[in-house]
Structure 1
Amino acid sequence: MKHQDMDTDKNTDLSTTENEIRKHILLVRDLLNKMVVEILKRSNTHDQSKLSSPEIEYSMKYTQKLKDADYGSPEYLAIQDEMNEALEHHYACNRHHPEHFEGGIQEMNLIDILEMFCDWAIASQQHPKGDIEQSIEVNQQRFGYSDDLKEILRNSIKLLK
């Protein structure tokens, strides 16, 4: 094969390779954009059920009591028991809670997990003794998620800063 023919083959191979890389980049971009759209939908609908009955009535009665109790403590759990009707309604309406699913957290998708994590982070910030690290630990016991997921959540705390 002549030198010129080899150069032509290299250029064709390079062009084909570049096109495949560009195609991959665009496909990943499109898929990420689909995920962004879903995140935006979630951001606009997050916890809207709290503004309607029966949740709003329970929130009026119990929000301060929950803030005064340490997350995961026996006192906190007793308050949650008193709120059972509202919590069942809330979990049924909001898929970012593991309780929404019969199989718990293992049935959630990435967007559910992301919204759940953001929910926990803000709840931790709004609680006088809140600590997202502690919430991740308590919730691992509560929901039985893996050490791998726990580390992913802990690694994501850096994104909150």
Structure 2
Amino acid sequence: MSSKNDLDAQITEEMISYFNIRTAEHIDRVKNNMILMEGYQNLDIQTLVKRGEIHDQSKMVEPEKQGYIWLTWWHYCKKQGLKFDYPEGAQELVQLSVDHHLKSNLHHPECHQKSNDMSWLDIVEMVCDWTAMSQEYDQGSCLSYVQQNIQKWHFNEQKMQDIFDTISEIDKRIQKKI
């Protein structure tokens, strides 16, 4: 199996540059979406902006960065229709990075003892994150993604309603802005 240093040596400047640009754009989209949610569930602009600014910052440092560079490049190649296979050991590194990210960031249900422990701020950031991904891929609302995936997080009925209400609210606010 390749070592982390071997994998690091295989990362190109192009891969790093793409990762940095794409991640910064994603964080900016999330922050802008969070700003749109001012006043929702009594969340103030300072709280939303602060949370938006730290969104996904853990991807910029180890133990996440190298794995996310590989993952971001894999998605880039897939989107461009380019053949790309992870070098030996990279897929495992990606999984470790993703696992760390999910368990270290409050906008992911996996970070909480129970997914239903998520606060309104956590839910808003999570929905803003999903919405940013939908925006990146020109898919409109994140609603269909959530409908297909929400069961895996084992939210109770009330928390699911809170999430769907938040999706409805952000979709409304985005439409109003357009």
Q: Same fold (TM over 0.5)?
A: yes
3-state SS of paired residue (1:83)? helix
Q: Does 1:132 align with 2:142?
A: yes
Post-superposition shift, 1:37?
A: 2.7
Contact 1:136-1:154 within 8 A present in 2 as well = no
Contact 1:137-1:150 within 8 A present in 2 as well = no
Q: Does 1:143 align with 2:156?
A: no
Contact 1:121-1:132 within 8 A present in 2 as well = yes
Contact 1:140-1:150 within 8 A present in 2 as well = no
Runs (5+) with no aligned partner, structure 2: 1-38, 80-89
Q: 1:96 to 1:86 in 2, by over 3 A?
A: same
Q: How many residues align?
A: 121
* Distance (whole Å) between structure 2 residues aligned to residue 130 and residue 92 of structure 1: 28
Q: Which residue of 2 aligns with 1:88?
A: 99
Q: Which of the pair is proportionally richer in helix?
A: 1
Q: Which residue of 2 aligns with 1:158?
A: 172
Normalization by structure 2: what TM-score? 0.56
Runs (5+) with no aligned partner, structure 1: 1-28, 70-78
| Alignment match of 1:43 (pick from 35, 48, 52) | 52
Post-superposition shift, 1:128?
A: 6.2
* Distance (whole Å) between structure 1 residues aligned to residue 131 and residue 64 of structure 2: 21
Identical-residue share of aligned pairs (%): 26
Post-superposition shift, 1:102?
A: 1.8
Contact 1:96-1:116 within 8 A present in 2 as well = yes
* Distance (whole Å) between structure 1 residues aligned to residue 104 and residue 94 of structure 2: 16
Post-superposition shift, 1:91?
A: 2.1
Q: Which residue of 1 aligns with 2:110?
A: 99
* Distance (whole Å) between structure 2 residues aligned to residue 142 and residue 81 of structure 1: 22
Q: 1:151 to 1:92 in 2, by over 3 A?
A: closer
Q: C-alpha root-mean-square deviation of aligned residues, in Å? A: 3.1
Contact 2:67-2:93 within 8 A present in 1 as well = no
1:115-159 Cα distance to aligned partner (Å, 9 max, x none): 000000001222366751222212312213335235313412222
